[in-house]
Amino acid sequence: MADNVWPNYARSSKGVILDMCGVLYDSGEGDGVAIPGSVEAVKKLKASDLKLRFCTNETQASREKFVAKLQRLGFDISVAEVFSPAPAAVAVLRKRGLRPHLLVYDGLLPEFDSVDKSDPNCVVIGDAAQKFSYENLNEAFRVLIGLEKPLLFSLGKGKYYKETDGLKLDVGVYMKALEYACDVEAEVIGKPSAQFFQSVLDDMALQSHEVVMIGDDLVNDVGGAQQCGMKGVQVRTGKYRCHPSGAHFWGVCQRDDMRTVTRTSLRKFPLFTHLALGLRGNQNTNKCTSK
Amino acid sequence: MADNVWPNYARSSKGVILDMCGVLYDSGEGDGVAIPGSVEAVKKLKASDLKLRFCTNETQASREKFVAKLQRLGFDISVAEVFSPAPAAVAVLRKRGLRPHLLVYDGLLPEFDSVDKSDPNCVVIGDAAQKFSYENLNEAFRVLIGLEKPLLFSLGKGKYYKETDGLKLDVGVYMKALEYACDVEAEVIGKPSAQFFQSVLDDMALQSHEVVMIGDDLVNDVGGAQQCGMKGVQVRTGKYRCHPSGAHFWGVCQRDDMRTVTRTSLRKFPLFTHLALGLRGNQNTNKCTSK
C-alpha cells in the first residue's frame, strides 16, 4: 500500500463513519466487551471537528436496545447517530407494498411491528444466529419457492463475525444458501449497499470524498465505502483476517498493525492521530499468516 | 425438444441408470411411499435385456439400511446394484490420507467407521437435515477456517428434494453456505460428479453412449449424465419443477407429461415403452407453470 493514499485522506476529510462490532467492541455473552482504547477513540473523535456516525449491520436487537448496550460499555453514542439495516428494510417494504416472512433474531422483531406480515410475498433474513435452524431455513425456502417470483432481502451479507468465544457465521452465509436453493439473487439492505451508505452521507450533509469509513471487514466496510467514493481504513481488530482478494480493494490502509500506521504517518495525517492511537488495542487478534 | 433425439437412444441403449428418491419413491415419515407404477417399472426393466443400476445421492442412511427400506417398499433391489456417495467419499479420504470432520446424518455415520477422524484436516457434509443446526454448521465452519487450506467435500450438491410433507433443503444449499463463508469451492462426491457416474459405467461394463440416466433432477441427474456422454430423461415426479436454465441441457426428454411422451414415441423407441408406462404415476405433482 503506497503511503501517498494517506495525506489525501487527511486534507479533505470532514467526517468519519465507524463500524461497531469488531471495531468498538467484540460481541459475546451479555454485552460483550469494549475493545481496549475504543471508548477513548470515540471520545476524541467527538471532541474533534469531524462529523461522526456509526454504521452497523447488527440485526440481533432493535437500535434502542443495541445503543443502550453500547452505552453500558462506556460509549458516548445516541440512537440518532447509529444506522442499521432494519429501519432501512422497513422503509423499503413500505415503499414497495411488501409483506415479509421474517427470519430474524427475536430481539429484532419489534423493528417490524408496524409491517403487515400476513400472506407473505417476500422473505427478509437477518443475523438470526441460533434461529437459523434447519426447520426455520426450510420454512423460509418454502415461502420463497412458492412465490411466482421469489424475492429475498438480506440485512447485510457478512460471512462471519467475532464473538468473545470465537468466529460466528453471519447472515450472508444463509443468504447464499437461499439464493442457491431458489435461483435468486438477494437484495442486500445494509452495508455494503451503496444506498445504505448514501443515507448516512445525506444525514452528515457531506460528500463521499470528504468521509472515511473505518471497519474490520474488507468487503462490507472498506469495499462498500470505496464503491461510494469514500476512503476505507481496515483495523486489525474484530474478525480481521487476510482477505484472499484484498488486492482488489484499492486505497485500503492495510499495515501489519496499527502501531506501524501511527508511527509512520503521524506527521502526515494529524486528523487521524487520535483515532489511530485509540484503536490500537486488541490488534492482531487474528494474525495475518499469509504474508 | 426435437423428437429425433429418441430413436437414437433406443437403438444404442444397453443399460439404464435410475435415480431413486423422487423417481421410485418419495421420502418422508417411516419408509416414505413408492411412486405409483415404479415397482412394476423396475420389475419390467429387470426382465428386459437392459443392464440396470441405481444411483442415489441419498446420505441419510448406510447403503444396507437404505436398500432394506426400498425392499420393504416392494422393490427388487440389492446393495450391489446401488451407488451412493458415502462409500465413494471413504475411498477418496483413504487415498488422500484425509481425516474428516463429519457433518452428516446420524444414520450415515457407520459408513465412516473405518476412517480416522482425529485432528480433522477436511470437512465432509452430507444431507444432515435437522442436524444442520446453526451450532453444527458453525462448528464445521470453524474447522474449515482454521485450516491453512480449507478442504470441503460435499456428498452431492442438490438444492432440495421432495418428502411426503413437502420440499426439503438438500446438502448443496449448505455446501454453498460454507463455500461462501470460507472462500472455497467444495469437491462434490456423488451426482453430478463425472467420476461418480464413471464408476457406475465401469461396473456395468458399458460405454457412456450406451446408457440412459433417468431422474427427476435436471442438474444432478440429467445434466450430470450428459456431461459424461449419457442421454438423460427427466421424469415429472418427485421434485420436478421447470428449471429456469433448462434450455442449456441439450437432449433432455422434457414433455408436458409422461402420457405425452409415451403416446408420441411408442413405435419409435420400444425399449422404453415399459419404463415410460411404468413411471407415469404421480406425474405433475409439481406442475410447470412457466410454460
Q: Which one of A26-30, B15-19, B234-238, B282-286 scores highest in mean pLDDT?
A: B15-19
pLDDT digits (tens, 9 = 90+) for B147-203: 999 999 999 999 998 888 899 999 999 999 999 999 999 999 999 999 999 999 999
Question: Between these two residues, A194 and A259, which has the higher pLDDT value?
Answer: A194
Would you give the DSSP letter of residue B179? H
A248 shares contact with chain B (CB less than 8 Å) = no
Of the candidates B168, B176, B178, the beta carbon closest to that of A138 is on: B168
H-helix or E-strand spanning residue A71? helix A63-72
pLDDT bin (cut points 50, 70, 90) of residue B251 is: low
Q: Which residue of B has its CA nearest to A181?
A: B159
Contact A5, A143 (CB under 8 A): no
Please give the Cα distance from A83 to A58 (Å, whole number). 9
CA distance B111 to chain A (A): 23
**Mean pLDDT on B12-25:** 88
pLDDT of residue A255: 39
Residue B165 contacts A where some CB pair is shorter than 8 Å? no
pLDDT band at A283; cut points 50, 70, 90: very low
Please report the pLDDT score of residue B148 as a whole number. Answer: 95
How far lies A91's CA from each of A61, A62, A98, A196, B246, in Å? 18, 15, 10, 12, 37
Question: Is the Cβ–Cβ distance between B89 and B95 less than 8 Å?
Answer: no
To the nearest whole percent, how much of chain B has pLDDT over 70?
78
Mean pLDDT of the B69-74 span:
96
Q: What pLDDT shows up at residue B205?
A: 97
Q: What is the pLDDT of residue A266?
A: 30
What is the DSSP code (8-state) at residue B27?
A: B
Looking at CA atoms only, how far is residue B247 from chain A in angstroms?
15
The residue-averaged pLDDT of B29-49 equals: 87
Among A222, A230, A180, A184, smallest CA distance to A204 is for: A230
Cβ of A133 within 8 Å of Cβ of B135? The answer is no
Interface of B with A in 271-290 (CB under 8 A): 289
CB contact under 8 A, B130 and A131: no
Is B169's CB within 8 Å of A137's CB? yes
Distance from CA of A262 to the nearest CA of B (A): 30
- State the cell numbers at B117: 477422524
Partners of B153 in the beta sheet? B124, B187
Pairing mode, if any, of strands A160-163 and A211-215?
unpaired
Mean local confidence (pLDDT), A79-87: 95
Mean per-residue pLDDT, A21-43: 88
Distance from CA of A156 to the nearest CA of B (A): 14
* pLDDT over 90 percentage in chain A: 57
Contact list, A138 vs chain B (CB under 8 Å): 167-169
Average pLDDT (B224-244) is 79
Q: Are A240 and A285 in contact (CB under 8 A)?
A: yes
Query: According to the model, what pLDDT value does residue A234 have?
Result: 85
- From A15's Cα to the closest Cα of chain B, the distance in A is 32
pLDDT bin (cut points 50, 70, 90) of residue B235 is confident
The verdict on A33 touching B (C-beta cutoff 8 Å) is no
Chain B nearest-CA residue for A147:
B289
With CB atoms and an 8 Å threshold, state whether A180 touches B172: yes
Provide the pLDDT for residue B135.
Answer: 98
A137–B132 C-beta distance less than 8 A: yes
B141 part of contact set with chain A, CB < 8 Å: yes
DSSP state of A37: T
Give me the sign of the Cα torsion angle A60, A179, B217, B208. negative
Chain B contact present for A70, CB below 8 A: no
Dmax over CA atoms of chain A, in Å, equals 60
Q: How many whole angstroms separate alpha carbon A31 and alpha carbon A67?
A: 11
Minimal Cα distance from A180: which residue of B?
B173
Question: What is the average pLDDT value for chain A, to the nearest integer?
Answer: 81
Strands B166-169 and B160-163: antiparallel
Closest residue on chain A to B143 (Cα): A167
pLDDT, chain B, mean: 81
Buried b (16+ CB within 10 A) or exposed e, B23-60: bbbbbeeeebebbebbbbbbeebeeeebbebbbbbbbb
Residues paired with residue A198 on neighbouring β-strands, in sequence order: none
Chain-chain contact of A176 with B179 (C-beta, under 8 angstroms): yes
Report pLDDT digits (tens) over B267-277.
343 344 334 43
Q: Is the ipTM of this complex over 0.90?
A: no
What pLDDT score was predicted for residue B184? Answer: 98
pLDDT at A30 over 60: yes
A133 vs B134, B145, B178: nearest CB: B134
Nearest-angstrom CA–CA distance, B45 and A26: 62
- Please, which residues 92-121 of chain A have a Cβ atom closer than 8 Å to chain B? none
Give the one of A133, A145, A169 whose C-beta lies nearest to B181's C-beta: A169
Please give the pLDDT value at position B250: 54
DSSP string for A199-247: HHHHHHT--GGGEEEEES-IIIIIIHHHHTT-EEEE-SSTT----TTGG
Arithmetic mean of pLDDT, A146-158: 96
Distance from CA of B47 to the nearest CA of A (A): 38
In angstroms, how far is the first alpha carbon of chain A from the final one? 14
d(Cα B285, Cα B279) in Å, to the nearest integer? 13
Interface touch A167/B174, C-beta < 8 Å: no
Put simply, the answer to whether A132 touches B131 (Cβ < 8 Å) is no
Contact A169, A69 (CB under 8 A): no
3-state helix, strand, coil in chain A (%, to 5): 40, 15, 40
Distance between start and end Cα atoms, chain B: 14
More confident residue, A9 or A291: A9
- Picking from B129, B176, B245, the nearest residue to A177 by CB comes out as B176
* pLDDT value of residue B258: 27
The rounded percent of chain A whose pLDDT value lies above 70 is 78
- Nearest-CB residue to B137 (from A145, A169, A176): A169
pLDDT of B163: 85
| C-alpha span between A111 and A64 (Å, rounded) | 10
Substitution target in A173, A184, A217, A219 with the highest count of B β-carbons within 10 Å is A173
Closest by Cβ to A166, choosing from B132, B142, B159 = B142
- Which among A115, A114, A126 has a CA at the least distance from the CA of A86? A126
